[in-house]
A and B are shown apart, each in its own frame.
Chain A
Amino acid sequence: MQPFTYAPVADAAGAAARALQGASFIAGGTDMLQLLQEGVAQPAELADINRLPLQGITEDADGAIRIGALTRLQDAADDARLREAFPVVTEALDLTASPMVRHMATVGGNLLQRTRCLYFRDVSTPCNKRLPGSGCSALDGENRHNAILGGSEHCIAVQPSDLPVALISVDAEVQIQHADGAERWVPVEDFHRLPGDTPQIETVLRQGDVILGLRIPAHARGRRSHYVKVRDRASFSWALASAAVALRLDEGGRVTEARIAVGGVATKPWRLPRVEQELLGVRLDRDRARLAAVWAAEGAVTRSGNAFKQPLLQRTVERAIIEAGELA
């Protein structure tokens, strides 16, 4: 680890001011410590934001649910209101990391987890995301875990977080405060950016921004929602493919609203508008689920090691629709 200085900060304004001076934040530390250990992150200063009053879950009068940025993943998973209203979110958290990591990791930090691409985390290899212009080792290398959707010739790294995939299916937004005090809301769907020719820029955050929290709007209540995650082992692993499905059905069993997002396969948490469209207005059955899920891999570009993700993605989406619709 390179030397750095450390100090806690007391409030969001103080944190943002330190960031403008070049400090990096540390919250749960579960990704930051890995990046420090591996020499990928070399901050001059770490500002510990754990004293900011951003922990906990509250419910607005209109039924929206707010989750503070410093809420630990396990505390969010254990929140009865969240589980009741938006099971897709708590299911995604149940399947995230290990109990130890969930006790430490924060929801804000989870949105900013860096890719698990082997080369990004190995400083001895070229990687455009870590060192812009150095090349992408994954294109013709060990790319079994890399993306089939949203990649560019510069980077095909997967954004590996489960939580934002689930959050997209319930129309959640991120609350951000800038150093100048201005606050803004960004839909989770628009929070991450495609790699294009600047894979080092991963989100819409600017230097001096602090994530304050998340909000899931009341209008997303009442959808049947569900998260399915497929991985190399039964537990404690990042997704090879995952799907978050939220559906509203009328009395006749017809789909009146559909939100579907997938993880493990794309360079950002990935929404599937075409699959949603295929479901709208139809009376859900297993055949419909299968036919709609075929569109999940629309536009997929596969490489030497990750072609298996195309059928895996389609079947993961199919299974998630079937289970969300209770057709199993």
Chain B
Amino acid sequence: MPPEPAQSFAVTLRVNGQSFETEIDARTTLLDALRDRLHLTGTKKGCALGQCGACTVLLDGKRVVSCLMLAAMAEGREVTTIEGLARGDELHPVQAAFVEHDAFQCGYCTPGQIMSAVGAIREGRAGSDDEIREQLSGNLCRCGAYANIVAAVRDAATREA
């Protein structure tokens, strides 16, 4: 982060356990930095206004929408994206549950759904179908795969518990 107000500057971002240094314009959102600078394109851009959840990532372990955050504000924080979930070839349990339950159609909302579900399960807020629906209400699915998404999250939550 710049010590004095500046229009462009270097930032160091910690993403999925790795450090990346990159020169950015002050206007760069975390979402754009992830996709265009670090080429981590798993995080999707839908509305860019916080309303669809496609860009959900974890910041210090908590769910946030990366479109409503300046990249500069993520400096010194730990960012986890969809690319950071799997252990080598082994899918994260929530990823595996999405595959098993056919919890997507076009797949555009899926990385955001999965990151939001991982956050909800970690926060202990995926205890019932109603709670899962409420907790994932910030993640919209234009294909309407909701029924299978709830089933996948429920399954992953029980397996992780």
| One of B48, B50, B133 near A100 (C-beta < 8 A) | B50
Determine the chain B residues whose CB is within 8 A of the CB of A236 once the complex forms.
137-138
- The interface stretch among A2-10, A127-135, A216-224, A244-252 is A2-10
Bound-state Cα–Cα, A192 to B24, Å: 37
A36 on the B face (CB < 8 A)? yes
Q: A36-B27, A235-B137 are in contact. Are A7 and B1 (CB under 8 A)?
A: yes
* Residue pair B3, A7 in contact (C-beta under 8 Å): yes
* Residue pair A29, B69 in contact (C-beta under 8 Å): yes
* Residue pair B4, A7 in contact (C-beta under 8 Å): yes
* Residue pair A99, B138 in contact (C-beta under 8 Å): yes
Determine the chain B residues whose CB is within 8 A of the CB of A29 once the complex forms.
68-70, 73
A50 to chain B, nearest CB (A): 7
Interface size on B, residues (CB 8 A): 39
Interface residues on A, range: 20 to 34
List CB contacts (< 8 Å) of B12-37 with chain A: 25-27, 29
* Residue pair B64, A37 in contact (C-beta under 8 Å): no
A104 on the B face (CB < 8 A)? yes
Determine the chain B residues whose CB is within 8 A of the CB of A46 once the complex forms.
26, 70
Determine the chain A residues whose CB is within 8 A of the CB of B29 once the complex forms.
33
* Residue pair B138, A7 in contact (C-beta under 8 Å): no
* Residue pair A100, B53 in contact (C-beta under 8 Å): yes
List CB contacts (< 8 Å) of A1-59 with chain B: 1, 3-8, 18, 23, 26, 28-30, 33-34, 36-38, 45-48, 50
Determine the chain B residues whose CB is within 8 A of the CB of A47 once the complex forms.
5
A45 to chain B, nearest CB (A): 5
* Residue pair B68, A1 in contact (C-beta under 8 Å): no
B62 on the A face (CB < 8 A)? yes
* Residue pair B137, A98 in contact (C-beta under 8 Å): yes
* Residue pair A99, B26 in contact (C-beta under 8 Å): no
Bound-state Cα–Cα, A45 to B7, Å: 9
A298 to chain B, nearest CB (A): 34
Determine the chain A residues whose CB is within 8 A of the CB of B6 once the complex forms.
5-7
Determine the chain B residues whose CB is within 8 A of the CB of A97 once the complex forms.
50, 138
Determine the chain A residues whose CB is within 8 A of the CB of B56 once the complex forms.
100
Bound-state Cα–Cα, A54 to B29, Å: 24
A103 on the B face (CB < 8 A)? yes
List CB contacts (< 8 Å) of B53-74 with chain A: 53, 56, 59, 62-65, 67-70, 72-73
A101 on the B face (CB < 8 A)? yes
Bound-state Cα–Cα, A4 to B9, Å: 12
- Supply 6 A–B pairs (Cβ within 8 Å), ascending by A: A3-B26, A6-B2, A29-B73, A46-B70, A48-B72, A100-B138
Sorted nearest first, the 4 A-B pairs with minimum C-beta distance are A98-B138, A5-B5, A235-B137, A6-B26
